[in-house]
Amino acid sequence: MRILLSDAFLRSRQHRPGARVIVHDSRVTGFECVIGARTKTFRLRTRAVSALLGRWPVLTADEARAKALDLLRRVAEGEAPANVRAAQVARPTLCEALTDYLAAKSLKASTARKMRERLRCQCADWLLLPLDAITLKVVQERYRSIDSTGSANEVMRYLSALFNFVAARDGVALENPVARLRKLDGLRELKPKDRMVPDAKLPAWSAAVAALADRDAADTLCFLALTGARLSEALHLTWADTDLEAGSVRFRDTKNGTDHALPLGRHLQALLCARRNQATSRTNPLAADAPVFGLSETRLRRAVAEVVAAIGLPWSPHDLRRGFVTTGQRTLNDLATVKRLVNHSAGGDVTT
């Protein structure tokens, strides 16, 4: 937020506990006020200087602005570097950087939740540390201590984003230990998975799915296999997102940030029509925002475990997506069309 900082504005500004807002002065570049749950602190942050000025209301907005201008003038004239260093602002803590990052970025709720949970799980002891206390050495040790390559790389990616964000926002030189880790040790290579249900096992897989007592799970697995949809897309599909007369469905706000419309084959069209008729007989009228499949991820994973035991082969719901891609490319021999079907972006080679 950028506004002319004044006592009247600060007097009227209240903020919710646990969060903070940085208000930039529209008159003096780098002069700003950090509004927290209990305090309002003036500071000056430019490429040349980073200094605390004082707290409101002990220091008025005009007095703080005058102090900022005087400090900028002295720095420009080659004076007061020692004073500036003595008054340097401590870097935000990891928790503060995370809060500010999530407030500034337009992330999907699921992405923000995952980032928050991952850092609080793997870096709980760092949350109250200032960023400049998180050194290359401790980052190396933490990275090596995380067994899962995927989780370790994900934590490093989140940490790197926070360091880059704070450095860019505050206009300061903040060393990114993750960037150094990449250059010195490199991150462990995460090989893409290629597992899927092989052709020879598909008849047994189909029979085991058809035999499931949980019909919601059976229909969901059939839907995943015949659309290549992501599990989250299928579980969040509502009746408002279906057009059974035209034979199509639309997945909302998908992983790449767009909606994805997909035509249905005759088998799936009949399956969804039957489900709609059953749901309508139980609930009249049927709510448009009611889920098509209406089961939790836990229930589905129990059904997957039953099928795994029945066919003697481990697999996951995402393996069905890989199977769909493989079958689509083998049948169509047209990678661009297969990408469209599974809603992959035109660039990159994630599909292959």
Per-residue pLDDT reduced to its tens digit, 261-292? 999 999 999 999 999 998 888 777 778 889 99
Kindly state the helix (H) or strand (E) to which residue 225 belongs, with its residue range: helix 215-227
Tokens of 95: 């928790």
Mean pLDDT lowest among 75-84, 127-136, 185-194, 294-303: 75-84
Residues pairing with 34 in the sheet: 22, 41
Q: What is the pLDDT of residue 349?
A: 59
Task: Decide the pairing of beta strands 2-3 and 21-25.
Answer: parallel
Which residues are within 8 A (CB) of 229 and not within 5 positions of it... i.e. 6 or more apart?
Answer: 223, 251, 262, 321
Query: What angle in degrees, to the nearest 10, is found between the helix axes of 202-210 and 297-311?
Result: 130
40: pLDDT strictly greater than 80: yes
pTM of the model: 0.58
Q: Give per-residue pLDDT as tens, 117-133.
A: 999 999 999 988 889 88
Every domain of the chain and the residues it spans:
2-86, 94-184, 199-342
Tokens of 149: 């390559």
- Does CATH place domain 94-184 in 2.40.50.140? no
Task: Give dist(CA 329, CA 342) in Å, integer.
Answer: 11
Report long-range pairs for 34-37 (Cβ below 8 Å, ≥24 apart).
Answer: 35/10
234: pLDDT strictly greater than 90: yes
Mean pLDDT lowest among 38-42, 79-83, 318-322, 325-329: 79-83
Mean pLDDT value of segment 158-164: 94
90: pLDDT strictly greater than 90: no
Q: Give per-residue pLDDT as tens, 98-118.
A: 999 999 888 888 888 999 999
Strands (E), 129-288: 242-243, 248-251, 260-263
Which residues are within 8 A (CB) of 312 and not within 5 positions of it... i.e. 6 or more apart?
Answer: none
What's the CA angle centered on 260, arms 254 and 261, to 5 degrees?
150
Secondary structure of the chain: what % helix, strand, coil (to 5)? 55, 10, 35
313 and 201 in contact (C-beta within 8 Å)? Answer: yes
Tokens of 52: 């605390």
- Tokens 């995943």 correspond to what residue? 224
What's the CA angle centered on 167, arms 161 and 170, to 5 degrees?
130
**Identical topology for domains 94-184 and 199-342:** no
Report the CATH number of the 199-342 domain.
1.10.443.10
Q: How confident is the model at residue 92 (pLDDT cuts 50, 70, 90)?
A: confident
Kindly state the helix (H) or strand (E) to which residue 65 belongs, with its residue range: helix 61-76
